[in-house]
Chains A and B, each alone.
Chain A
Amino acid sequence: MVEAVRAALAFTEPLWGWAVQSWQWGWSNFDDPVGPMLAEHVLLSYASVLIGLALAVPLGVLSVRYRVVYPPVLGGVNALYAVPSLALFFLLLPYTAFTPWTAILPLALYTLAILVPNVVDGLNQVPDHVRQAAVAMGFGPLRRLLRVELPVAVPVIIAGLRVASVATISMVSVASLVGLGGLGGVILTYGFARDFAAPVVVGIALSVALAFATDGLLVLAQRALTPWARDRGPARRGGRSARRRIPGTGARAREEAAA
């Protein structure tokens, strides 16, 4: 038994070594460069997702109002999503140089492929009787949209934001190939270029932690924004029934939209 534990420890020793070394490196270099690059990572990814949302909501609203708009919009954002990020960063470089826009613009465009379908689905699943009730109360189209339809769509939109933010946070690092990648800079310049695993591990770990923390924040935001859904909490956790009630929000909201 003791032998087995010892063997297991010996086998995983390089891993432990890495973990300890990475922890030490990350800790002793937090002031510079780890902390500032983490801050850059947060701001690049959050700005991208927020700009993406600001574009996706009007596009989604238009697509629901005028059905003919939706197929071309969807085709467009899906085609954009297939453009390799590296190419977009390189192509923007002459225009936006090392301003954060070189990273933010492509990343914001990528989020559209996830966010637009979710905004559309969210608006589509507003029950007719709710819409009619709003009309009966004398709400005009704009007020109905802002006060009734978008709030009802919030859970689906936030589901999209969760996918988009995780994808964006993991993709920011690619921009470090043009010198702008937040934690990607820790990975490439401080780690890979020096043949040094510790900064690479630190960069990966912080990027994953940031993605999870952001996801948690969005879950909290959803609770705060949809107080009416809280009483039904257990029923929603049921998964199956929830999915049937809101078509196309289960696995689709989680993964498919990315296509």
Chain B
Amino acid sequence: MNIASEVASWFAQPQNWSGSGGIPVRFAEHVYYSVLALLAAAAIAVPVGLLTGHTGRGGFLAISLANFARALPTIGVLTLVVLGMGLGLTPVLVALVALAVPPILVNTYEGVRGVDPQVTDAARGMGMRGGEVLARLEVPMAMPLILLGLRTAAIQVVSTATIAAYVGIGGLGRFIVDGQSQQRIEQILGGALLVVALALAVTGLFTLLRRWVVAPGLRRRAAASSSTAS
């Protein structure tokens, strides 16, 4: 109970809401790093996933690379890049992109591969070309899984971006790392709660996005086949 009220008073203190070390600035930094990493990861993983899924070539290689990236310890990647390039945002982004690529890539690939061949055959029979089949058929049908991959990646990135604080840049991790060295438990908890809140907001955002982007018929089917976490 005591600790809960300490956390509450941490949130209530006006000086925690102002200045370059305040909650709004740290929150914005955290969102900035996360969005940057997610966009970079999507820019790599979505095209590769679509292409390998569509052509059926290189899929094994792409999935193997994704599995390799997933097994990489984030701390190792981060420190190795810092040793090579010095401080800054780049090492953090490299580590986060390595984290975000696998779920996006695997889900995009599986999404496209999972489109019923009878449907694509029918489309070809109607005279669609490869590119058209991909754009008008496979991408929309794979969209639920692509979004799922993006959401998984986004949540992992948001929760892991806290390690940016370890290499001296901002974000919500600052509250956690500095709280530890200054022995302020309420600040560690406050920072952790903000990260969870951001992750929940991301989940909500993707639920909305799903309504917006996925065709209603597919939505019903996808909901039936993989009752998603949300």
What are the residues of chain B within 8 A of A204 when measuring CB–CB? Answer: 72-73, 76-77, 80
**How far, in angstroms, from A211 to B67 measured CA to CA in the complex?**
10
Q: Kindly state whether residue B27 has any CB partner on chain A within 8 Å.
A: no
What are the residues of chain A within 8 A of B189 when measuring CB–CB? Answer: 87, 91
Q: Kindly state whether residue A255 has any CB partner on chain B within 8 Å.
A: yes
**How far, in angstroms, from A83 to B79 measured CA to CA in the complex?**
22
Closest to A209 in B: B71
Closest to A197 in B: B83
Among residues 6 to 55 in chain B, which have CB atoms less than 8 Å away from a CB atom of chain A?
none
Question: What is the distance, in angstroms, from A209's C-beta to the closest C-beta of chain B?
Answer: 9
Q: Kindly state whether residue B138 has any CB partner on chain A within 8 Å.
A: no
Docked-complex contact B148 and A259, CB < 8 angstroms: yes
Q: Kindly state whether residue B156 has any CB partner on chain A within 8 Å.
A: yes
From A54-62, A142-150, A188-196, give the one contacting chain B.
A188-196
Q: Which of A84, A188, A191 has the most CB of B within 10 A?
A: A84
Within the complex, which residue of B70, B71, B114 is in contact with A250, where a contact is CB–CB below 8 Å? B114
Taking residues whose C-beta sits less than 8 angstroms from the other chain, chain B's interface range is 35 or more
Docked-complex contact A173 and B74, CB < 8 angstroms: yes
Query: SS class of chain B's interface: helix, strand, loop or mixed?
Result: helix
What are the residues of chain B within 8 A of A158 when measuring CB–CB? Answer: none
Docked-complex contact B72 and A84, CB < 8 angstroms: no
Q: Kindly state whether residue B96 has any CB partner on chain A within 8 Å.
A: no
Among residues 156 to 198 in chain B, which have CB atoms less than 8 Å away from a CB atom of chain A?
156, 158-160, 162-163, 166, 173, 176-177, 179-180, 185, 188-189, 191-192, 195-196
Docked-complex contact B195 and A258, CB < 8 angstroms: no
**How far, in angstroms, from A108 to B46 measured CA to CA in the complex?**
31
Docked-complex contact B195 and A170, CB < 8 angstroms: no
What are the residues of chain B within 8 A of A171 when measuring CB–CB? Answer: 73-74
From A23-31, A127-135, A174-182, A224-232, give the one contacting chain B.
A174-182
